[in-house]
Every structure is written in C-alpha cells, then in structure tokens.
Amino acid sequence: MHRIQRYRRGTYSDVALEYYNAGLHPTCANFREASQYFLAPWFVKLIQIRSRVLETGAGHSIVSDWLHDSGKRVSIFVASDVSLRMLSNSPRFGSGSVYCLCDAKQLPFANNSFDVIVSSLGDPYNSAEFWRETARVLSPGGHVAFTTPSFEWAQQYRNGIDFAEFVMNDGEVVTVPSRIEEQREQERLIECAGLSVVSKRHIFEYEIQKTRRSPKLRAGPIVSGYVARKFVE
C-alpha cells in the first residue's frame, strides 16, 4: 500500500506547539543545546547590569533563562519574535519582562537603542535586511551574538534549498524559511551591514551532552556561532 506524504509551506507558528518537544524533534533540541553552548560564555562577557538587551526570534528565550539562572539583572531586556505562539514557549512569558511581537527584518526600535542583540538559531530571517536592522538598532561599540545550524550539516539534508523541514507528529511535513550560509559568506553578510565579526566558531556534534542525540546528527559541525561588533564612530 502507498503512503501519501502531506507537505505544506508554513511558518514557525505552525510548528510552535511541537518545536520544543525533544522526543518529537530531537534535532531542534540538539541545535538549541549547541547554540546555548556557544552563547553562554558570551553572555557572561557582554551582558552587564547597565546593558540594554534585545533578543530576536526568541521563541523559548535563551536570554530570559540565562538571566533567571544566573540571577543577573539588566537595564532593559526585550524578547521579540514574529510568532506569538513561539514566544509563548518562554516559561516566563507574561511575567513582567518586555515581550514584543515584531519582524526581525523591520525592528520597531530607535537607532542605537541596544548594547547587546542575541539571535539564537536566526536562520529563518538571516537576510541583508535583518543585518541592516541589527546594525541600526545596535549602539556604537555594541555586540550581536548570532547562531545558525551549520552549513556543513544543512548541506547533507537540504541540497541548497532555503527551507527547513519539520515532520510533525501527525505525519505532515511543514517547511519554513531558513537561510544557512557557508562561514565566509555569512561573515560577508554581517560585515556588509557595517558590523565587524570579532569571533566565530563551530559547535561539533561531540560537544552535545545534555540532549538525546538525534539520528540526523553526523560527525562534524552542527551549529555555527558569530559575534560581531558595531564600529564606534
């Protein structure tokens, strides 16, 4: 008997209820662990009591978890996402922090308004517009920390296509936009916006320790992280 596979182009709102279910989507859990692994040491360096911090595409906010676990305070923290359903995955959603529904490619903030911008697994909106907006709202001397699934990992599954696939619990396959560039091209995208890459590194599959290893992980880099700084004029 033939099985018919249902495919649909969707958005993260369509996958929001399942995205953080590590049993159903172990690759997402592995990516998040790798992203946190890259970002946490940078949070310690960059996030200070006077910092104004913006997280884009926050979903279950990594910054909010880090602030909670470390007991650190900041001057301003805004967790933003284009999807209310994804943002609602933040356990502290609605608890008094500032949550903002907005497109990372059209940020509703004034120029120079944040010292630190965090984008964990920001491949869905990894475009020239996003980087221009990031450079605009970042204050001079401010930093952005960005992660994405690695180009090497994506090559094995995507064959150059700018979509990520989620096989949902009911069997439907939902595809969402995802732009993943090779490291040199990613740097060019960031630097074209007037930012200077100060650090970059891959996180490898053997560095995953907390989450159950997805069958889709192969030996090699699985997440790539970048930290860039805005020039002081």
Ligand X SMILES: C[S@@+](CC[C@H](N)C(=O)[O-])C[C@H]1O[C@@H](n2cnc3c(N)ncnc32)[C@H](O)[C@@H]1O
Residues 168-197 that bind ligand X (CB under 6 A): none
18 contributes a contact to ligand X by CB under 6 A: no
How far is the C-alpha of 223 from the C-alpha of 200, rounded, in Å? 11
52, 53, 59, 152: which one binds ligand X (CB under 6 A): 59
Token digits of residue 106: 């059209």
104 contributes a contact to ligand X by CB under 6 A: yes
Question: For ligand X, which is the closer residue by CB, 34 or 228?
Answer: 34
| CA count, 13 A, side-chain hemisphere, 123 | 26
How many Cβ atoms are within 10 Å of 158's Cβ, its own excluded?
16
Q: Which stretch binds ligand X (CB under 6 A): 98-106, 152-160, 184-192, 216-224?
A: 98-106
Token digits of residue 78: 């805004």
- Site mask for ligand X (CB under 6 A), range 33-52, x = bound: --x-----------------
Of 27, 156, 157, the residue nearest 19 (C-alpha): 27
Question: For ligand X, which is the closer residue by CB, 50 or 212?
Answer: 212
How many Cβ atoms are within 10 Å of 189's Cβ, its own excluded?
18
In one-letter notation, the amino acid at residue 12 is Y
Token digits of residue 191: 């630097």
Q: Which residues pair with 138 in a beta bridge?
A: 114
Residues 110-169 that bind ligand X (CB under 6 A): 120-121, 124-125
Question: For ligand X, which is the closer residue by CB, 4 or 27?
Answer: 27
Catalog residues that contact ligand X under the rule CB under 6 A: 12, 32, 35, 56-60, 62, 81-83, 86, 103-105, 120-121, 124-125
